[in-house]
Structure 1
Amino acid sequence: MSSIENASSTEKQVSPSASKNIVHLEAASQRSQDVLITEPPADGGKSERMVKLKTDLFILPLLASIYFLAQMGRSDLGNAKVAGLDDDLSLTPDMYSNVASIFIAGYLVFQLPGTLLLRQIGPSFQFSGAMILWGVITVCTVKATSYGQLMAIRFLIGVIEAFIQGSILYLSFWYRYTELATRGAIVYSTSALAGSFNGLLSYGVQKDLGGRNGWTAWQWIFFIEGMIPIIWGFVVLALLPPTPEQVRFGFTEDEKKMIMTRSRAAHNTGNGTIRPKLILKLLIDPKFWMTTIVNCGNHYCANALQNFIPALLHESMGYSELQSQLMSVIVYAVTFVSIIGSCWVSDRLKMRGPVIMADSALSCVGLVLLLLLSQPAGRLVAACITAAGAYPIVVLTLTWTATNHPGYTYRASAAALINVFSQAVAIAGNMSFDDPPFYRKGLGSSLGMIALSGVVAGLLDWYLKILNAKKKREQHTPEAEILRQMSIDEVGNKHPDFFYTY
């Protein structure tokens, strides 16, 4: 649902102060007035469809590849565990949980600066530099001989990967709100493909490379998965467009103007100024905290699944080490379809909350089945259902965050801080999976947390509708007219012509 209302729209949110088919704020550097720009129809003409297609072709494959390789870097630990990492380094279940969690701790330290600095550093430099650095450190894992060394390495990888977590923020520079969830799904769904690819790669490594040149299978896994981002990082540096204001090649002048029009329609100003006051305002915004709870509840479950799916398949379902690597491919393949499907439905229906609630319910069904069933085939199906419900919520929540927090500082800070709190909760999720082989404590607590996520999503959906109704009633008050003289980058979602997506 578009965040600036259109007077001719048949949707639920309509701004009385808007003129037909217009009224999107330029919100550039002027403090004295907002510059209104005419926005092409949401379905676009031929020229806009061409711009959108070219933007998709330039950005989505590269951004998806970045996220794909980042997800490989996260989930390789689970595959390395099955390949003998915990035996060779004498890791207890608690130690392994700590290694999985310390990776997240790196995120907590650098998530906010890594997101806020995206415009200052430049997306192409920031993303490619992070890829090269985490690849180098992943290769260094080959030489790890102790629990302490592995903890240090995983922490550093987490720190560096925090600098590529602005993917939804970057996409919001280029796409309309009603296009964002589907594009985010294309990027984020690569996490499922990465899990599948990791399973296939680990299967091949264990089968053919284990013991070759004196390296164990888990050493080969880390070496191969470290070299790939090092090489690909230079491709990203050369080809990824930086921002709409700095498009270098591939678009005509008219197309560049269309890109700017579309970017302004999503409340991007091109100004990377960081406004600390808006960060403080964000922290007292109940909508921010409700969105955070939605994401935290889901992350508790989704992040743990990422690290423990191979172990669940191997330890509680009776599959061999090699079989469990292959079976994890099935789980992630189902998840890939679910992410694309849920986000496509969300964009088509122009709603986030109800879709998140449905996905939460689906994941709850899967977790209940995992707790109750004992047969391997039934538990495998339950694992697929759980992951299919949990993973789409991640991108839907981030999209919801981007559309309801306009302006660079407000949007970047919201995306970063929601991730910070969610990753902190994810540490607790990892720590709860400490009772092999069935991991009932972790599965039970995940059930409670993802149910909480769905309930709060419903409450937030209801609250945003109330706020939109209040904004409509106050369109012509003196306070609203004063706020209209300020840019949306200064006042964020308090601007009277901004309406919430629900």
Structure 2
Amino acid sequence: MTSSRTSSIAEKTTAAADVADVERDDPDAEFGGHEARKVMERKLLRKLDLRMSILIVIYILNYVDRNNAGAARLRGFQTDLHLQGQDFATLLSILYVGYIIMQIPSNMFLNYIGKPSLYLPACMMIWGTLSILTGNFVGALLTRFFLGFVEAAFFPGSLFLISKWYKRSELGTRTALLYCGNIISNAFGALIASGILDGMDGKLGRAAWRWLFYIEGALTVFVALCAMFILPDFPATTRRWWLSEPERRLAMRRMEEDAGVGDEAETETGGHATGLWLAVKDWKVWWMAFAMTAQVVALSFNAYFPTLSATMGFDPTVTLLLCAPPFVFTALMAFAVSRHSDKTSERFYHITVPIFGGIVGFVIAICTMNTAARYVSLFLMAQSYAGFVVLYTWVSNSFPRPPSKRAVAVALVNAFSQLGNVAGSYVWPSAWGPTYRNSYAICIATAGCAIVMCYVFKLHLAHLNRLLDKEEEEKGVKEKGFRYLI
């Protein structure tokens, strides 16, 4: 009996050793080999893409709720609230105070609880409700201030969520698809607003602009309820019913291979306070924060797009309809540019060429009041968002680990850049219209500044890559490890 048990233990030990040898020879053995892993990986990405697509819908509603004041301005909003002087600009900019304050704490909390499927939709329901409650000037001011607090959770949280599931080579396209929600909201938000403002005026004794806030806010709350059952959590915390255990392990393995170390292990050893300190002391984070801020000021035309469209002399309904085509074109451009950026693993030129195209649009708008030329200039201005999308991806790529630092870095850059929205709210005073030459000149200067700062950042990352090459050469490592994308 003893001899039999000893033999059985020896056989199990030998089998375990054989499995370990196989896994050493083939790192994909636990997934059934290299070919089986590729099939599983494609299936995993399809599942992920389907679930993450809800983020695009949420982002559309996020910006529709944020920018509906611009459309409402054309149909009595400013008159009914008795807005004078810089009151409207203050109403726009107050949102970004809460938005800036809450982004870093929000992402740190999200990394801590590991449940974006609950946290992000909960914030969404709150901001939808707040949008419905927009009333008089003081009420609108308070509503938009607190709206910024809860909206702060969404975009940096979404960027952090997709960076936990997708490799660097996949991140640009997914970030572009997410940001297309913002771009599409500018197109279809104007169309929806046009329909509501045209058809709901006086219904139940309410002004058309009030119906705009009611309907769009209610739609946001409904989508938030649906999102709770669709959004995934992080690979280590996600619900198992939509993902098999091998697929979950593969998701974690992919991120380990991409960054050179496991995300979850580094989260545990790094800690959230450490992640905050690592991000704050890294000058690269602040450099990109300033570059993003400059570009956000250059994109400040976004909130005033209906006003700029109105300078062509059409009635309010046609003006809102004309806002859609430039942003439909921009959404297609952003996807194409980001996808090509991923395929070529190049970031700098994919950022700066569209931004330069925006500068050309500003110059045209300064030089002429011709209707056709000004409409072409709106297309060129809008497409500069394509470069901005790749810029967001570059930030996520440039701070790969630990995840606690990445969470703070993404939030810090995005939060700081919102200062550009605060400043940008005051770049387009009515007194400078209808030519808005001074406004366009400010946008040209800030866009040029962003291009220069991106170039300096590219030179620094190229230097870091040369240091990594040298280090691996000295150690005799033949297979290249992690490199910054430039």
Length-normalised TM-score, structure 2: 0.87
1:130 pairs, out of 105, 110, 123, with 123
Distance 2:433 2:76 in 1: 16
After superposition, what is the alpha-carbon deviation per residue over 1:188-243, rounded to whole angstroms, capped at 9, x for unaligned?
10112111221111111122111111111110110011001111111111221111
Q: Which amino acid aligns with 2:228?
A: L
Distance 2:26 2:417 in 1: 37
Contact 2:258 2:482 in 1 (8 A): no
Paired residues for 1:241-280 under 5 Å: 241-248=232-239, 249-267=241-259, 269-270=263-264, 272=267, 274-280=271-277
After superposition, what is the alpha-carbon deviation per residue over 1:253-290, rounded to whole angstroms, capped at 9, x for unaligned?
32222212123234452365544344334333332233
2:20 counterpart residue number: none
Larger deviation, residues 153-162 vs 250-259: 250-259
Distance 2:26 2:201 in 1: 62
Distance 2:418 2:219 in 1: 26
Distance 2:275 2:132 in 1: 40
CA shift, 1:461, in A, is: 1.1
Is 1:82 aligned to 2:74, yes or no?
A: yes
SS at match of 1:474: helix
Q: Which amino acid aligns with 1:68?
A: I
CA shift, 1:419, in A, is: 1.2
SS at match of 2:96: helix
Contact 2:108 2:272 in 1 (8 A): no
Contact 1:429 1:442 in 2 (8 A): no
Paired residues for 1:378-417 under 5 Å: 378-389=373-384, 391-405=385-399, 406-417=401-412
2:449 counterpart residue number: 452
Distance 1:346 1:247 in 2: 30
Structure 2: which 5+ runs fail to align? Answer: 1-24
Q: Which amino acid aligns with 2:64?
A: M
Q: Which amino acid aligns with 2:54?
A: L
2:18 counterpart residue number: none
Distance 2:414 2:111 in 1: 19
Q: Which amino acid aligns with 2:282?
A: D
Q: Which amino acid aligns with 1:407?
A: P
SS at match of 1:189: helix
Distance 1:189 1:387 in 2: 12
**How high is the sequence identity, in percent, across the aligned residues?**
25
Paired residues for 1:168-187 under 5 Å: 168-187=159-178
CA shift, 1:250, in A, is: 2.3
1:167 pairs, out of 140, 158, 179, with 158
Contact 2:132 2:214 in 1 (8 A): yes
After superposition, what is the alpha-carbon deviation per residue over 1:116-145, rounded to whole angstroms, capped at 9, x for unaligned?
11133310111110110001110101xx12
Q: Which amino acid aligns with 1:420?
A: A
Distance 1:149 1:247 in 2: 39
Task: Select the structure that is richer in helix.
Answer: 2
Residues 22 and 447 (structure 1), Cα distance of their counterparts in 2 relative to 1, 3 Å cut = farther
SS at match of 1:245: coil
Distance 1:173 1:339 in 2: 22
SS at match of 2:58: helix
CA shift, 1:22, in A, is: 11
Contact 1:352 1:400 in 2 (8 A): yes
CA shift, 1:114, in A, is: 1.1
CA shift, 1:424, in A, is: 1.0
SS at match of 1:330: helix
Contact 1:173 1:266 in 2 (8 A): no
1:330 counterpart residue number: 325
Contact 2:279 2:406 in 1 (8 A): no
SS at match of 2:264: coil
2:223 pairs, out of 219, 232, 240, with 232
Contact 2:106 2:153 in 1 (8 A): yes
1:425 pairs, out of 413, 420, 423, with 420
Paired residues for 1:214-233 under 5 Å: 214-233=205-224
CA shift, 1:475, in A, is: 3.6
1:347 counterpart residue number: 342
Residues 218 and 41 (structure 1), Cα distance of their counterparts in 2 relative to 1, 3 Å cut = farther
Residues 92 and 332 (structure 1), Cα distance of their counterparts in 2 relative to 1, 3 Å cut = farther
Is 1:191 aligned to 2:182, yes or no?
A: yes
Is 1:501 aligned to 2:481, yes or no?
A: no
1:290 counterpart residue number: 287
CA shift, 1:476, in A, is: 7.3
Is 1:309 aligned to 2:305, yes or no?
A: yes
SS at match of 1:437: coil
Residues 261 and 226 (structure 1), Cα distance of their counterparts in 2 relative to 1, 3 Å cut = same
Residues 399 and 214 (structure 1), Cα distance of their counterparts in 2 relative to 1, 3 Å cut = same
1:201 counterpart residue number: 192
Paired residues for 1:17-32 under 5 Å: none
Q: Which amino acid aligns with 1:307?
A: A
Paired residues for 1:456-495 under 5 Å: 456-475=453-472
2:21 counterpart residue number: none
Contact 2:179 2:389 in 1 (8 A): yes
CA shift, 1:327, in A, is: 0.6
Q: Which amino acid aligns with 1:308?
A: Y
Contact 2:275 2:402 in 1 (8 A): no
1:360 counterpart residue number: 355
1:49 counterpart residue number: 42
Distance 2:374 2:219 in 1: 33
Contact 1:346 1:355 in 2 (8 A): yes
2:138 pairs, out of 141, 148, 151, with 148
1:487 counterpart residue number: none
Residues 452 and 41 (structure 1), Cα distance of their counterparts in 2 relative to 1, 3 Å cut = farther
Q: Which amino acid aligns with 2:229?
A: A
CA shift, 1:168, in A, is: 1.2
After superposition, what is the alpha-carbon deviation per residue over 1:307-344, rounded to whole angstroms, capped at 9, x for unaligned?
10001111x21121111110111121111112111111
CA shift, 1:93, in A, is: 4.6
SS at match of 2:233: coil
2:8 counterpart residue number: none
After superposition, what is the alpha-carbon deviation per residue over 1:327-377, rounded to whole angstroms, capped at 9, x for unaligned?
111121111112111111110111111211112211111111111121122
CA shift, 1:300, in A, is: 1.0
Distance 1:160 1:393 in 2: 27
Contact 2:111 2:404 in 1 (8 A): no
Distance 2:288 2:82 in 1: 40
1:157 pairs, out of 126, 147, 155, with 147
Distance 2:187 2:393 in 1: 25
SS at match of 1:45: helix
SS at match of 1:260: helix
Distance 2:466 2:394 in 1: 19
Name the larger-Rg structure: 2
Distance 1:191 1:217 in 2: 24
Q: Which amino acid aligns with 1:425?
A: G
Q: Which amino acid aligns with 1:469?
A: R
